Structure 1
Amino acid sequence: MNSSIPSPFKTNEQVQLAPSRNMPTWLGTLLKKIFFGACLVHDELEKNELRKYCIICDSYLCKHCICRNKHNDHDQRKIYRHVYKDVVLLEQIEKYIDCKLIQSYRCNKKLIIALNPLPHCGSGSLIVGDPTCLTCKKRLHDPQLFQFCSIACQVEAKWGKIVETKRERKRKGIPHRAPLK
């Protein structure tokens, strides 16, 4: 077997990714966006969650933005939620990036992949020697097939760190008491 061709059955530590073609220009900003917030343009309307991403305009959209016909002929990707994180359908995103090393998950009978690392995988406690994501060290379900847990981890491995994974808001805020009467 030729040692210059990486085998999908080698362990994580043995395979090194060579930068392939250039990263799509919109991918970095897609990974930084926060979805499922209220649309500021349509804040007076109900059900205005930002659930779609327009690749052409590099912007996120609510259903009212799409109804305005500005983005009808643009390439749009729907963003879903899984374990409180943003995910995309594997079949939609693999047209643009190579996803074969990214761990996929099954959600509502469809394969999805995470934009950024999911909060946990399994019990959360790692045992020495457990197969993990090459970038963020989260546990992988099938290390024989996958090396990354999310698109952001693969992007970081191929093109360097472009995504900050800070929490945008704390889980619990400052407690507020009801006004005294």
Structure 2
Amino acid sequence: MVGYSLNLKMKRRPEWLETLLQSKFFGPCYDHHDLRKNEMNVFCIDCNRCVCQHCLSSTAHYLHKLLQIRRYVYQDVVRLQDVQKHLDCSKVQPYTINGAKVVFLNPRPHARPPKSNSGASCVVCERSLSEPNRYCSIDCKVSVVLEKLKNRSQFISFPIPEFGDLSAKENRNPEQNLKEDESSETDMSVGNGLRLNSALKPKKQLHKRKGIPSRAPLC
């Protein structure tokens, strides 16, 4: 996947993603409060801040990674094609606006109905979804993914082989340890040589014992 990703060492959201999900868009830009159409509806990933269209006209955000924020049913959404470059949005419920697919940044407020066996629902807020989607927004998926990664990191362990009492061996005379190591290596080489010779030694051919010859009957 191109762009940003989540790994096992990450226990919280990236800083830019945290800002994106917590920002209030479409408010007036403080740097261009005296200009028209100064709504902050663009998020700059590199600068980790909300900007307006007038901010983009300067060279400060030249070649920066930008996300255009849109509104759908009074909630903030982004185009799936744009955000997919930076986050894996698979199984997030998409919606179509003016021929383009969009996804919600945060879950929409709603009264949680009781779960039903028919149809899919968001694993976090239980909103009804269409198969095979499992999340109603980016925020819901990120929270679930980070929780899974956190649980996996807690259970990851590396087995340590048992070598016996190392402290007792360290306390011995170094010459004695060297003799023991040499004797163990000799025994091992002899054992390996015997097994190798027995494996390469041709097998004896077993001849079946002839039976007692039967004489012809007397005429």
Please give the TM-score of this superposition, normalised by the length of structure 2: 0.58
The answer for the alignment partner of 2:141 in structure 1 is: 154
The answer for the alignment partner of 1:34 in structure 2 is: 24
The answer for the alignment partner of 1:80 in structure 2 is: 70
| Bigger relative contact order (CA 8 A; separation at least 6) | 1
In the alignment, which of 128, 143, 155 is matched to residue 116 of structure 2? 128
The answer for the alignment partner of 1:164 in structure 2 is: none
Question: Matched residues in 1 for 2:103 and 2:67: separation?
Answer: 13
- Tell me by how many angstroms 1:24 deviates: 4.1
Question: Matched residues in 2 for 1:126 and 1:111: separation?
Answer: 29
Runs of 4+ in 1 over 4 A off after TM superposition: 124-127
Aligned residues: 138
Q: What fraction of aligned residue pairs are identical, expressed as a percent?
A: 36
The residue correspondences of 1:1-181 to structure 2 (distance < 5 A) are: 21=7, 22=10, 23-119=13-109, 128-130=116-118, 131-140=120-129, 142-143=130-131, 145-160=132-147
Question: Matched residues in 1 for 2:122 and 2:68: separation?
Answer: 25
Q: Which has the larger radius of gyration?
A: 2
Q: Which has the higher helix share?
A: 2
Which sections of structure 1, spanning at least 5 residues, go unmatched? 1-18, 161-181
Question: Matched residues in 1 for 2:6 and 2:67: separation?
Answer: 23
For the Cα contact (< 8 Å) 1:132–1:139, is it kept in 2?
yes
Question: Matched residues in 2 for 1:96 and 1:155: separation?
Answer: 13
Deviations 1:104-160 (A, max 9, x none): 001100010000113459xx85663242100111111x13x1000000000111125
Question: Matched residues in 1 for 2:28 and 2:139: separation?
Answer: 24
